[in-house]
């Protein structure tokens, strides 16, 4: 009997734990917003985190954007050429990057590059009792450590996504025009005729703003909530990447349904 | 407050971000400021504009000379009125004709202008009076089907006789 009940009991414990964490993360989000005053007044703190989260992610974003654009150009050309409409390659590359691939892939890369680093850093601070020490010195760790990282992520994400889009379009241009030999004028004019500033560009940036908030919130929360041991920090880092990836993709579906 | 190298890098990062967004809005989405070149407006009435959309190109001999900026229904005569914004360097005579054409078989529709012989040119706000409507594929197929059916009924009694 006990052997039968054990899986059910485990399932129940997992669901209760999940709801517990959901409540905690919501309360944590409000706490970050309430304690953001300091990270805006002492903007240096935020700038430092923008450097670690955003500037150091530049290489991975630029290189992946370029390759994603090149693959899009190659695959798009092969498919479009079959229907005799290879001229639409520019529009295809730009629209798929601006609407979906740019924000989503940039956010996934950002989560695995910077989100995991944030979790590990805050988790280790907790494990070595630095957060406790701050509280003892009457320094609010949420205002001093967590909020600047959160805002840095929110600032960095749209910039990285925009850069990803530009590099992707450049990659598509390299393959389509320089390598395959489509007409450069057709490539750009097809793009310009089919891309709308508000509908495509601005909506894509709004998406990446939401992703930035979600990813950094999950990252700082997992760090803050980590079990203060070496194994706890390691599993918190793993959870950050997995949860961020799932949340990004689910949020992408919801936002797309709203916007387009 | 001291300046540090981190500030430089973050400044560079933000500058790259702004440049990327500017590139996306100007080069990719084509938000070119209209004030760059002088323009003038013409209107043209069509019985049917088909799938013509705002921002569709206006071409003369295949060269883009302007864009459709507004499409509305004239509720007095129930015709579609398209407002065209043309580049000032392209002037057209008063008996210019406008027709709605399709790029390719199923491509996007645009307005083609054919220059007339009148020595006077159209001024801003004038109306192009010679217009021909869009070719609507469904109507064309419908006409073809009815003429085909008529032909069939004419042929049928002939055979029985």
Chosen for mutation from A43, A45, A46, A47 (greatest number of chain B CBs closer than 10 Å) is A47
Which residue in the block uniquely carries the two structure tokens 């709308």? A196
Residues of A in contact with B14 (CB under 8 A): 159
- pLDDT of A239 > 50? The answer is yes
Q: What is the pTM of this model?
A: 0.75
Nearest to B17 among A48, A159, A197 (CB): A159
| Element spanning B123, H or E | none
Average pLDDT, chain B: 82
CB pair distance less than 8 Å for A159 and B20 = yes
Over residues A185-193, mean pLDDT: 84
For residues B59 and B89, the answer to whether their CB atoms sit within 8 Å is no
pLDDT at A24: 92
Give residue B118's pLDDT band: very low, low, confident or very high (50, 70, 90): confident
Over residues B72-95, mean pLDDT: 89
User: Max alpha carbon distance in chain A (Å)?
Assistant: 74
CB pair distance less than 8 Å for A166 and B20 = yes
CB pair distance less than 8 Å for B29 and A200 = yes
CB pair distance less than 8 Å for A58 and B7 = no
Residues of B in contact with A55 (CB under 8 A): 9-10, 12-13
Distances (CA, A) of A89 to A41, A42, A83, A260, B24: 47, 47, 12, 21, 17
Over residues B70-82, mean pLDDT: 90
For residues A172 and A90, the answer to whether their CB atoms sit within 8 Å is yes
pLDDT per position as a tens digit, A68-85: 999 999 999 999 988 888
Nearest to A195 among B7, B17, B28 (CB): B28
pLDDT at A40: 82
The whole-angstrom distance between B56's CA and the closest CA on chain A is 9
d(CA B7, CA A231): 35
Nearest to A165 among B12, B24, B30 (CB): B24
For residues A181 and A75, the answer to whether their CB atoms sit within 8 Å is no
- pLDDT of A172 > 70? The answer is yes
Chosen for mutation from B3, B10, B33, B56 (greatest number of chain A CBs closer than 10 Å) is B10
Over residues A185-199, mean pLDDT: 83
CB pair distance less than 8 Å for A159 and B1 = no
Nearest CA in chain A to B107: A85
- pLDDT of B150 > 90? The answer is no
pLDDT per position as a tens digit, A119-136: 999 999 999 999 999 999
CB pair distance less than 8 Å for B28 and A51 = no
Q: Where are the domains of chain A?
A: 35-259
Which residue in the block uniquely carries the two structure tokens 């925009």? A162
Give the count of beta carbons closer than 10 Å to the beta carbon of residue B148. Answer: 9
A→B interface, C-beta within 8 Å: 44, 47-48, 50-51, 54-55, 58, 94, 98, 156, 158-160, 162-163, 165-166, 169, 188, 191-193, 195-197, 200-201, 205
What residues contact residue B111 under an 8 Å CB cut-off, 6+ apart? B44, B52, B56, B57, B58, B59, B68, B82, B84, B98, B99, B100, B101
Over residues A100-122, mean pLDDT: 95
């Amino acid at each position: 009997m006990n052997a039968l009940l054990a899986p059910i009991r485990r399932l129940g414990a997992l669901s209760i734990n999940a709801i517990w964490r959901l409540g905690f993360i919501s309360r944590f989000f409000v706490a970050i917003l309430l304690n953001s005053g300091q990270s805006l007044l002492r903007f240096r703190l935020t700038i430092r985190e923008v450097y670690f989260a955003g500037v150091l992610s530049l290489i991975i974003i630029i290189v992946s954007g370029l390759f994603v654009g090149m693959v899009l150009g190659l695959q798009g050309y092969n498919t479009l050429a079959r229907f005799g409409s290879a001229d639409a390659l520019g529009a295809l590359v730009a629209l798929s990057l601006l609407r979906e691939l740019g924000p989503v892939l940039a956010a996934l890369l950002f989560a695995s590059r910077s989100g995991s680093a944030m979790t590990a850093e805050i988790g280790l601070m907790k494990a070595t009792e630095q957060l406790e020490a701050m509280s003892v010195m009457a320094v609010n760790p949420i205002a001093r450590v967590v909020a600047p990282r959160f805002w840095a992520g929110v600032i960095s994400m749209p910039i990285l996504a925009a850069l990803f889009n530009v590099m992707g379009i450049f990659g598509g241009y390299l393959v389509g025009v320089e390598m395959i030999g489509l007409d450069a004028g057709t490539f750009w004019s097809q793009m310009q005729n089919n891309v709308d500033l508000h509908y495509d560009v601005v909506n894509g940036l709004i998406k990446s703003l939401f992703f930035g908030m979600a990813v950094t919130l999950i990252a700082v929360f997992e760090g803050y909530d980590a079990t203060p041991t070496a194994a706890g920090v390691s599993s918190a880092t793993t959870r950050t990447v997995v949860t961020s990836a799932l949340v990004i993709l689910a949020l992408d579906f919801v936002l797309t349904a709203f916007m387009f | 407050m001291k300046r540090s190298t981190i500030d430089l890098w973050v400044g560079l990062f933000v500058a790259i971000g702004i440049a990327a967004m500017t590139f996306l809005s100007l080069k990719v989405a084509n938000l070119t400021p209209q004030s760059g070149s002088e323009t003038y407006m013409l209107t043209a009435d069509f019985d049917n504009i088909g799938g013509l959309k705002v921002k569709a190109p206006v071409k003369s001999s295949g060269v883009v000379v302007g864009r459709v900026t507004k499409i509305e229904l004239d509720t007095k005569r129930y015709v579609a009125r398209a407002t065209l914004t043309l580049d000032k360097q392209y002037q057209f005579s008063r008996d210019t004709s406008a027709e709605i054409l399709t790029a390719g078989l199923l491509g996007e529709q645009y307005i083609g202008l054919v220059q007339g012989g009148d020595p006077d040119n159209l001024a801003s706000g004038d109306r192009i009076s010679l217009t021909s409507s869009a070719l609507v594929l469904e109507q064309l197929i419908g006409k073809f089907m009815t003429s085909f059916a008529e032909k069939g009924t004419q042929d049928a009694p002939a055979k029985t006789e």
